[in-house]
Structure 1
Amino acid sequence: MYSLFGWKVAALLVGANVIASLCSNPLAHSTYDVNYSELKQGLSSSASIYFPEYEPFGAAVIRWSNLSTPTINVVVVPGTDSDVFVVVNFANKHHIPFLATSGMHGSINTLGRMDHGIEIRLNQLDGVDISTDGKTARIGGGIQSKSLIDKLWTARKQTVTGTCECVGYLGPGLGDGHGWLQGHYGLVSDQFISFDIVLANGSFVTVDENSDLFWGLKGAGHNFGIITSVKAKIYDLTHPNYAIDTMVFSGDYVKQIYQLANELWVVNGTMPDGLNNWSYWYYDPTIDSEKPVIAMYIIEEGVNVVNATHTKPFLDLGPLIHQSKNGTYLDLGQWTGISLQDGPCQETGNANPRFPIYMKQYNPDAQAQVYELFRNATTSDSSPFSDALFMFEGYSQNGVKAQGNDVSAFAYRSENILAAPLLTYVPTGPAVEQAAYKLGSKMRTILDQGANEGNLKAYVNYAYGDETATSWYGSQPWRQDRLRTLKQKYDPMGKFSFYGPID
């Protein structure tokens, strides 16, 4: 259940950071009859190895969604970049699958293909080294968004990160990465200048714009290697102050709300650089016992009060609840219910599949049809989906579209809206899993048909897993050919094919 003030989100979880010394016990445990003493000897003193019988193992493997999870036999927590190189080469030698993790928020069901392997948990690689000219920073591959934001804030700097405070910085960035600042600077991936990466063959290299792989890492990067650090653009902190208006409406206004959003910001591309608009659907019987409500967030930078040009048309509809707040960039996570203390950053054990779709604009009739499906699914006494959420993310797109549509593997710069139902439920078996899939797919299909596009456009970082590579990375033949060529060159054995696989 979601409520305006408490944001009780019974859905999402994040793995805890685990920092411990190497276990002193002899490492004679076996995965595929392998003795891990050899691995221990090659790692730095700051690295860690966890097996299932050790207490830290459980916290290290827990994921955000328990729909289809990788089977982990061993967890290695590298202490240095070189440790990642050591683990990959050890795994290759012994033919063991491996998977790198940081924020643990991916819910795609292709992760379940990782069977009895090594998790390489990157959370100790969280350094931030700002260049002397203050224009770039070397950022560790395992850092979380909140940690990066805070470290840059202390230096009066900022960059584009994901919005949820407990997601990794680089995981979303490899799939392009949306954020509050993209109206100015583009996507998370647009900030990348170079990567330090361990490739599938075990080599440790630096990739920059002079490499053919640079294009693929920005948007389809989960397919090519493990990033130990990245050099990225950073910017002076010029607009630290922010304001937000939160309006909660009856679902009766679903068509009017999204028609207004189209007119104000979407259809003519008039969303200002410093403005972001989100809306959520959720069932909260303390506000409306009969149907889900619609929460509209309008967030503006550099002001203490959101401009009435943006808020008055919605206020004229007569929201059930209206709040105005002001603060700084650091308050955005708490205002929108995605701070470290909120539900999305807690451990619950639930399944959390999403069914993402990009759209150029809202179709109010399709919104109304989907709302009725969502209402029926969340208000029934017997429904397992009463805690579900429907997310509509409307960021300023100016910085994204300014980059050009062919500069990276991300294909959807012309789209303006990112929508996704999040169907939180207790994973009790195949029946509820199938019900969630049927509901999520049906709602997404209605939106897709309403968009009149013909080709599903899905955000890979929110992917369910039934989508195709053309949905994640674009249907243009040249895009698919280029990605397949890179995959064959850099990962011909498909060792990095557990998340949004190209092959």
Structure 2
Amino acid sequence: MPWLLFLVNVVSAMTSANEIADYFRNCLSSGSSVYLTSDPASVNATTPRWDLWSAPTYIVAVKPALRGDVQKVIEYASQKNIPFLTTGGGHGYSGTLGAIKDGIQLDMGNFNTVFVDADKNLMTAGGSLRFRDVAAAAHAKGKSTTIGACSCVGIGGATLGGGIGFYSGLYGAISDSLHSVDIVTGTGELLTASDTENQDLFWGIKGAGFNFGSVTSFTYRVHDQPNGGMVMNADMTFTGAQNASIWEFSKTMLGTQPPELSLVFAMRYDPEKSDIAIIVNAIYAGPLEDGKALLEPLLKLEPTNVAISYIPWKDAPDTAVYGITKMTCASSYTYVPHAINLYDINVEALSELTKHVYNVTSTTPAVQGTLFTFTQYASQGFRANSDANMTAKGRVGSSFPYREPTVFVQIDGLSFDPSSVDALDAFGNEIRAQLLELSGQNHLELYSNFARGDEGAEAWYGTENLPRLQALKARYDPKGLFSFYNPIGGGKQED
């Protein structure tokens, strides 16, 4: 693969940026926009990348207005061997994207409408919309759907990787709610994939969709919002000395928490207090008093800070964890990710790991920007949408592989100083390896949208799914055009 990527970049360099831009200006519809990335105007006209680490580079940015324009961009890039990346919200941060050099940014910013058909329980969203856009639209019609933890993230990219969020206990992965998509594949075909059309492709899109094409439109099933559209948001802060009790609560809840409840355990070193700070966030889609009762074991620990509110579900991402996720949406960062799935909570081992984290972060300023997040969603929604259950309903299943009780762990290194990136990366890799060892698993598994990019296709998509996914790759993207974001292999660029 490395020599082919090198060849792609060499060949693309032979086609000048001006030549590419002129071609698109002449052939795309009048509503499309084309920018040279050397032009300062392109910065505000296109979607910026949120993570500055391992970033792709572009020489031309194109904002197509029509699906046919998307086809033309893909066909041209294919003919000229120019790497390209389809961007929506700009939050895809896998390190695999750094392989794109001097490419084309295919910015889906003009596909930005959302329509909710309350009678049919369907919502259609353009390829560039963010969670906050669809949440507001659905809530306004008395509906709900699974959205992720950060309101500024694009729903399209999240969906293509499966997608998880605080309503997953009720509805499963975000992709489980898909009704259909319109996609331009690597072969240049404009297709609709659904339970009745191109079913094999639809299965692959729901969990590994980055590998097959550019989606211009997503249609989701939506649901009558539970509890009148209101949720409890609770944030509690604990000291490092209380970590064992926190892990005990996590262990008690794993596999038993009600579907209305989601839990996040976030841990970081606090230089001001010279201690580990642990924040627990709980979102509960039910009566306020019922939610508080579920948290009673935590409240009895006398957290150093408690903030409990009762809010519309659409506002939960910007409220959760004291609003920290909303603040991080405001600008770009250098952010080095590592991740792993855990299927059990080993209280003693995690307590020892917490002590190790304290020992390292308290003495190594370069890694003090590391945030450890353990996210637990109830498994009922995931299990209800398994392949077997979906088949029984006459619907297409999903390539999203992780449906048993899971803790989605992120080890995220946030750097404000470029000189600390290597230390953050090494520390994240070390902690990931320790978590794998304490888990008792013999191989790494993780949610693909949290990936660093070095874990491999089996870890992202599941060993059992890979042969089927690679067969789909050979059918819908035989030249491997869509092989820069956590690729499954099987296309020309991976051969």
TM-score between the two structures when normalised by the length of structure 1: 0.87
- CA deviation after TM superposition for structure 1 residue 61, in Å: 5.9
- CA deviation after TM superposition for structure 1 residue 90, in Å: 2.3
Q: Is 1:302 the equivalent of 2:286?
A: yes
Aligned equivalent of 2:24: 39
Deviates more, 1:464-473 or 1:76-85: 76-85
Spell out, residue by residue over 1:270-305, the C-alpha distance to the aligned partner (whole angstroms, 9 max, x if none): 21111111111123345xx22121111122113234
- CA deviation after TM superposition for structure 1 residue 78, in Å: 2.0
Aligned equivalent of 1:6: none
Q: Which residue, 324, 339, 356 being the options, matches 1:356?
A: 339
Matches within 5 A, 1:299-378: 299-337=283-321, 342-348=326-332, 350-378=333-361
Q: Residue 341 of structure 2 contacts residue 409 of structure 2 at CA under 8 Å; is this kept in 1?
A: yes
Q: Residue 305 of structure 1 contacts residue 325 of structure 1 at CA under 8 Å; is this kept in 2?
A: no
1:411/1:443 CA distance change after superposition, 3 Å:
same
Spell out, residue by residue over 1:49-87, the C-alpha distance to the aligned partner (whole angstroms, 9 max, x if none): 111232232343632222211111111112232221222
Aligned equivalent of 2:236: 247
1:131/1:298 CA distance change after superposition, 3 Å:
closer
- CA deviation after TM superposition for structure 1 residue 43, in Å: 2.0
Aligned equivalent of 2:407: 417
**Aligned mates of 1:420, 1:500 — CA distance in 2:** 17
Q: Is 1:281 the equivalent of 2:300?
A: no
Q: Is 1:402 the equivalent of 2:384?
A: yes
TM-score between the two structures when normalised by the length of structure 2: 0.88
Q: Is 1:217 the equivalent of 2:205?
A: yes
Q: Residue 85 of structure 1 contacts residue 203 of structure 1 at CA under 8 Å; is this kept in 2?
A: yes
Q: Residue 235 of structure 2 contacts residue 306 of structure 2 at CA under 8 Å; is this kept in 1?
A: yes
Q: Residue 338 of structure 2 contacts residue 429 of structure 2 at CA under 8 Å; is this kept in 1?
A: yes
Aligned equivalent of 2:276: 292
Aligned equivalent of 1:20: none
Residue-pair matches, total: 464
Q: Is 1:164 the equivalent of 2:159?
A: no
**Aligned mates of 2:271, 2:306 — CA distance in 1:** 17
Q: Residue 405 of structure 1 contacts residue 413 of structure 1 at CA under 8 Å; is this kept in 2?
A: no
Identity %: 29
**SS of match in other structure, 1:272:** coil
- CA deviation after TM superposition for structure 1 residue 160, in Å: 1.5
Spell out, residue by residue over 1:467-503, the C-alpha distance to the aligned partner (whole angstroms, 9 max, x if none): 0111001123xx2211111111211221101101111
Q: Which residue, 109, 112, 129 being the options, matches 1:143?
A: 129
Q: Is 1:237 the equivalent of 2:225?
A: yes
**Aligned mates of 1:354, 1:43 — CA distance in 2:** 37
Spell out, residue by residue over 1:78-108, the C-alpha distance to the aligned partner (whole angstroms, 9 max, x if none): 2232221222122223222110011111221
Task: Give the gaps of 5 or more residues in structure 1.
Answer: 1-28
**Aligned mates of 2:205, 2:371 — CA distance in 1:** 31
1:447/1:306 CA distance change after superposition, 3 Å:
farther
Q: Is 1:454 the equivalent of 2:436?
A: no
Deviates more, 1:492-501 or 1:85-94: 85-94
**SS of match in other structure, 1:330:** helix
More helix by share: 2
Q: Which residue, 426, 432, 445 being the options, matches 1:438?
A: 426
Matches within 5 A, 1:198-217: 198-209=184-195, 210-211=197-198, 212-217=200-205
- CA deviation after TM superposition for structure 1 residue 111, in Å: 0.1
Residue type of the partner of 2:19?
A: V
**SS of match in other structure, 2:418:** coil
Q: Residue 234 of structure 2 contacts residue 320 of structure 2 at CA under 8 Å; is this kept in 1?
A: no
> RMSD in angstroms over aligned alpha carbons?
2.2
Q: Residue 66 of structure 1 contacts residue 427 of structure 1 at CA under 8 Å; is this kept in 2?
A: no
Task: Give the gaps of 5 or more residues in structure 2.
Answer: 1-13, 389-396, 490-495
Aligned equivalent of 2:99: 113
Q: Residue 35 of structure 2 contacts residue 60 of structure 2 at CA under 8 Å; is this kept in 1?
A: yes
- CA deviation after TM superposition for structure 1 residue 183, in Å: 1.4
1:37/1:338 CA distance change after superposition, 3 Å:
farther
